[in-house]
Amino acid sequence: MRQPPTQDVAPTPNRNENSAPIVARILSILRLRNLSVVGLRVVVVVLMAAELVGPRVYSCCNCRNHICLHDDIISKAFQGRNGRAFLFSHAMNVVMGPKEDRQLMTGLHTVADIYCHDCREVLGWKYERADEEAQKYKEGKFIFEKSKIVKENW
């Protein structure tokens, strides 16, 4: 009996496991927009285009260095030194200044200013410690001032 040749091929991933998040996104969009199955084709094309373009990121307003991902936004309802600000769970390509105690609108916090790694533009601050129990959720999070960041890949 003849044996088939052996091949070094990676196992094919289970199609259901890989497509589950995409299918869930499609179904949620359909429900939110009250779309029928006809609208499904449009939604699929939009999602495919989003996957090809890459993640939506925010960049430094001065040098366009990538700073944070849209998916890491926790809240857009924050106030910075110069207007609106966003609270993010993560940041990249930033440098932290020294820690200091600062009286903010929500009480006393230990914060460190964050700067763009490339051009050293002040972008916001990182919450290091919060004195009040109700503010502890901010610890380790980043505030980026809306006026200091720009959208990329949108």
CB atoms within 10 A of CB 149: 22
Distance, CA of 66 to CA of 74 (rounded, Å): 18
Report pLDDT digits (tens) over 63-119: 999 999 999 999 999 999 999 999 999 999 999 999 999 999 999 999 999 999 999
Give the mean pLDDT of 140-144: 97
Q: For position 143, what pLDDT does the model report?
A: 97
Count each helix (H run) and each strand (E run) in the chain, helices first: 2, 9
CB atoms within 10 A of CB 96: 15
Domain with CATH 2.170.150.20 in the chain: 57-152
CATH 2.170.150.20 fits 57-152, yes or no: yes
Beta carbons of 111 and 127 less than 8 angstroms apart: yes
Q: For position 100, what pLDDT does the model report?
A: 97
Global confidence as pTM: 0.67
Query: Average pLDDT of the chain?
Result: 82
